[in-house]
C-alpha cells in the first residue's frame, strides 16, 4: 500500500511539474524576442526565466566539467581535459575551460550541446572533419575516483585481516564493511550458487561495492550520476553476461535448444524465447539500474526547480513554496540513499541468480527426483523481477 501511494505521489508531482513548466515556457514565447511592451510602447528586456528542462538534462547527462553553480554571473566549475583526434588535424589536448562554457571556439573546435565539433575559419561547423572524442568527462573521472576509493578501502581492510586475522575484533571502517560482506555471502552467494559460491564471491563483492560507491558519490551535489548513464550500466551488464556464459554447461544449452518434456509444436515457439532470454537477462540488469538511479535524480531536481517556476509566476509564491519544496527534496534525498544500497544489492543478487541458473544440475538417474541445489532461486528471481 505504501509503495503504491509513493508511486502515485511521484506521478502526481511530476505531472504538476510538467504542467507548470509548459505554462512558463509558453509565457516566455512572446513577440519581440522575449521583450516586454510597456504602456507607453517602449520595450524592455524580459528577465531571463529558468529553463527547468535544460537544467534537468544538464544534471543527468555527461559533461566536460564539474559544474557547481554560479557566482556573480560567472559559472563555478572544475574544467576537465579535452582529448581529440581527427584524421585531418591529428591529436589535440587542452582544458575544457578554453571553450568558455560553449561561447568560444578553440584550436578549430567548439562545444555544441556538450559535443565537441570541428569548425572552419568562419566559426561554422565543418562536417567534413571527423572528430573522435577521448576526453576525460566527469563520468569517466568520477568512475576513476570510485575505482580508487574501492581499491584503497578494500586493500586497507584486507591489510588489517592479513595482519591480525581473527585474533583481533574488527574496528573502524572494517567493522562497518564486514557485516555487508557477510550479508552478500550469506544472502546472495550461498543461496544462489550453492557450494560454488566461493568461486564467484570476488566478482559479486566487486560489483556490489563498485555500484554502491558510484551510487553514493553520485548523490554529492555537483558530482556526476554515473550509474544513471546507460553506457555505464551497459558495460556492467555485458561483463555479467560474459561471467554467466562462461559458467554454462551442456545441460543449460540443452534446455534452451531442445527443452525436455515439451511437445514439438511448443518447442518451435519456446526455443527462440529461451535463446532470447540469454540476452534479455543482462538487458534487464542494465535497464533496471539505469532507470532507478536516473529517476531519483530527476525527481530531486524537479522539486528544486519548482521553487524557481513558482518564483517566475510570483515572488511570493516562490518564497512560500520553498520550504515545502526543500522538505520534499530532503525526503527524496534520504530515499535515494536507501535506493543506492537496494540497487547495488538487486544487481548483485540477480547476477548470482543468473549464474546459478547457468550451471544448475540436471535430472538424476535411477528414477530419483531431480535435485535443485538452489531451492530459493526461482522465488528470489520472481521477487526481484517485479
Instruction: Round to whole Å and give the CA distance between 170 and 245.
Output: 37
CA pair distance 51, 73, nearest whole angstrom: 16
Domain boundaries, the chain: 73-136, 138-363+370-384
pLDDT (tens digit, 9 = 90+) per residue, 56-82? 776 677 888 887 777 676 777 888 888
Work out the burial of residue 384: count CB atoms within 10 Å of its CB; fewer than 13 is exposed, 13-18 middle, 19 or more buried.
middle
Q: Please list, in sequence order, all residues whose beta carbon lies within 8 angstroms of the beta carbon of residue 42, skipping any fewer than 6 positions away.
A: none
Q: Looking at residue 188, what DSSP letter applies?
A: I
Here the cell at position 56 is: 534537468
Burial bucket for residue 296 (CB in 10 Å: 0-12, 13-18, 19+): buried
Q: What is the pLDDT of residue 22?
A: 41
User: Which residues contact residue 105 at a Cβ distance below 8 angstroms, ignoring those fewer than 6 apart?
Assistant: 99, 119, 123
Q: Do 129 and 116 meet the contact criterion of CB atoms below 8 Å apart?
A: no
Three cell numbers at 47?
Answer: 528577465
Q: How far is the C-alpha of 11 from the C-alpha of 5, rounded, in Å?
A: 10
Q: How many CB atoms lie within 10 A of CB 366?
A: 4
- For 216, residues 6+ apart whose C-beta sits below 8 A from its C-beta are 337, 340
Its pTM stands at 0.76
E strand residue ranges, 242-378 = none
Average model confidence (pLDDT) across the chain: 78
Q: Are strands 74-79 and 81-86 parallel, antiparallel or unpaired?
A: unpaired
**How far, CA to CA in Å, does 181 sit from each of 259, 301, 356?**
37, 33, 19
367: pLDDT strictly greater than 50 = no
Q: Which of the two residues, 385 and 124, has the higher pLDDT score?
A: 124
Q: Collapse the DSSP code of 115 into the 3-class scheme (helix H, G, I; strand E, B; otherwise coil) and give the result.
A: strand
H or E element in which residue 90 lies: strand 90-95
**Could you tell me the pLDDT band of residue 133, with boundaries at 50, 70 and 90?**
confident
**For residue range 182-237, what is the model confidence (pLDDT) as tens digits?**
999 999 999 999 888 999 999 999 999 999 999 999 888 878 889 988 999 999 99
Amino acid at each position: 500500500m505504501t509503495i503504491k501511494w509513493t508511486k502515485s505521489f511521484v506521478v502526481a508531482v511530476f505531472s504538476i511539474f510538467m504542467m507548470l513548466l509548459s505554462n512558463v515556457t509558453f509565457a516566455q514565447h512572446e513577440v519581440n524576442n522575449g521583450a516586454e511592451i510597456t504602456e507607453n510602447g517602449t520595450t524592455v528586456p524580459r528577465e531571463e526565466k529558468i529553463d527547468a528542462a535544460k537544467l534537468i538534462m544538464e544534471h543527468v547527462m555527461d559533461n566536460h566539467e564539474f559544474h557547481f553553480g554560479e557566482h556573480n554571473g560567472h559559472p563555478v566549475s572544475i574544467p576537465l581535459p579535452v582529448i581529440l583526434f581527427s584524421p585531418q588535424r591529428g591529436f589535440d589536448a587542452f582544458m575544457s575551460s578554453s571553450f568558455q562554457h560553449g561561447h568560444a571556439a578553440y584550436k578549430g573546435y567548439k562545444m555544441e550541446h556538450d559535443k565537441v565539433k570541428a569548425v572552419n575559419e568562419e566559426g561554422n561547423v565543418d562536417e567534413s572533419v571527423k572528430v573522435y572524442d577521448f576526453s576525460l568527462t566527469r563520468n569517466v573521472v568520477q568512475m576513476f575516483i570510485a575505482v580508487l576509493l574501492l581499491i584503497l578501502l578494500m586493500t586497507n581492510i584486507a591489510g588489517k585481516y592479513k595482519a591480525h586475522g581473527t585474533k583481533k575484533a574488527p574496528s573502524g571502517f572494517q567493522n562497518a564493511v564486514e557485516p555487508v560482506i557477510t550479508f552478500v555471502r550469506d544472502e546472495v552467494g550461498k543461496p544462489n550458487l550453492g557450494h560454488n559460491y566461493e568461486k564467484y564471491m570476488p566478482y559479486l563483492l566487486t560489483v556490489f561495492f563498485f555500484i554502491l560507491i558510484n551510487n553514493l558519490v553520485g548523490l554529492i551535489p555537483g558530482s556526476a550520476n554515473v550509474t544513471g548513464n546507460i553506457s555505464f550500466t551497459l558495460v556492467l551488464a555485458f561483463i555479467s553476461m560474459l561471467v554467466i556464459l562462461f559458467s554454462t554447461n551442456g545441460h543449460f544449452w540443452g534446455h534452451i535448444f531442445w527443452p525436455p518434456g515439451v511437445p514439438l509444436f511448443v518447442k518451435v515457439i519456446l526455443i527462440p524465447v529461451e535463446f532470447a532470454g540469454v540476452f534479455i537477462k543482462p538487458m534487464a540488469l542494465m535497464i533496471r539500474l539505469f532507470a532507478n538511479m536516473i529517476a531519483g535524480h530527476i525527481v530531486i531536481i524537479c522539486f528544486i526547480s519548482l521553487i524557481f517556476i513558482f518564483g517566475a509566476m510570483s515572488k511570493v509564491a516562490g518564497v512560500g513554496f520553498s520550504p515545502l519544496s526543500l522538505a520534499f527534496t530532503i525526503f527524496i534525498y534520504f530515499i535515494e540513499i536507501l535506493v543506492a544500497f537496494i540497487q547495488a544489492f538487486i544487481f548483485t543478487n540477480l547476477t548470482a541468480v543468473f549464474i546459478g541458473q547457468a550451471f544448475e544440475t540436471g535430472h538424476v538417474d535411477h528414477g530419483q527426483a531431480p535435485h535443485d541445489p538452489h531451492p530459493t532461486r526461482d522465488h528470489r528471481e520472481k521477487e526481484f523481477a517485479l
